[in-house]
Amino acid sequence: MQRVEAELERLINEIDYDEVTRLFKSLSGGKRLRAKLILKIAKDAKDAPLLAAIVELIHAASLLHDDVIDEADTRRGAASVNATDGSKTAVMLGDILYSKAFTELVNFDKEIAQTIAASVTALSKGEMMDVKMAEAFNSDEELYLNMLYLKTATLIEAAAKAAALLAGKDPHSHALYGRNLGLSFQIIDDILDITADEATLGKPAMNDFVEGKCTLPYIYLFEALESDEKERLVNAHAKAIDTEENTWIRSKMDEHQTVNRSFALAQKLSNEAQAVMKDDAELVGILETMIQRSY
């Protein structure tokens, strides 16, 4: 990871603009899940740290744009760039990071470059779908999971596949692993948005629903409610939730076990990924750590 951070610093310095350097340093690196995944899969490949840095630049760019779209004031517990320097700056910084990542990506083998590039198109499509779906209450599980795959899982899937290609390993099994890791990771995040406190999340609890996002626990709740209760849930969508509505939604989720049902799907996806990587203890360990996050 030190080599990845060194590559990131080099790439940012090559942009040769102090403002970009300052702003990038203000970003929280987060878990670096995608970079760690590449390093574990292609641990002996000399270009693995550079590929990991490229993917992290892409991920950072997508989050910058995501925060502008969501009008988010914080990211990972710190002020977002759009909050400190404005949305225009955040968008332009994201564009610069995307462009720099692609400038470096073209030096890789064609299949590796295409794998990462295609995932960026997919995640952008997923972001647009997410925005469109937030305009009204969504109760379609399949539609939600497809958006989740595009917006979140596709870059993790691409990172795993590209790393396998770099290391001469089976790209298909690693792609499935990355896909399921990404989906289950996001489902757990969706659960934590409901069950964790603000200090843990770095944002208010149940913020997704307030922003108009209907994650799996809400979709499963809608399925389980009676007609008048369905109407109450839909009426609470995309609005600030007062204490009474908050308590009611949580109690109904407990009653109908919608959080547990969502976790069961995340566990199923994780198990499928573990099955194809059963001989790689490190990759199995990533899944086990992810799925065991407290909720």
Give tens-digit pLDDT for 195-212.
987 666 556 678 899 989
Q: Within a 10 A sphere around the Cβ of 21, how many other Cβ atoms?
A: 14
Pair 164, 42: CB distance under 8 Å:
yes
Domains for the chain: give ranges and CATH numbers: 1-30+48-107 (1.10.600.10), 114-295 (1.10.600.10)
Closest CA to 75 of 211, 201, 207, 214: 201
Burial of 112 (0-12, 13-18, 19+ CB in 10 A): buried
Strand partners, 75: 78
What is the mean predicted confidence (pLDDT) over 3-19? 98
What is the mean predicted confidence (pLDDT) over 179-197? 93
What is the mean predicted confidence (pLDDT) over 221-245? 96
Report helix, strand or coil for 18: helix
What is the mean predicted confidence (pLDDT) over 100-125? 98
Handedness of CA 51, 53, 54, 55 (dihedral sign): positive
Looking at residue 202, its pLDDT comes to: 58
Distance (Å, whole) CA 92 – CA 89 = 5
Looking at residue 13, its pLDDT comes to: 97
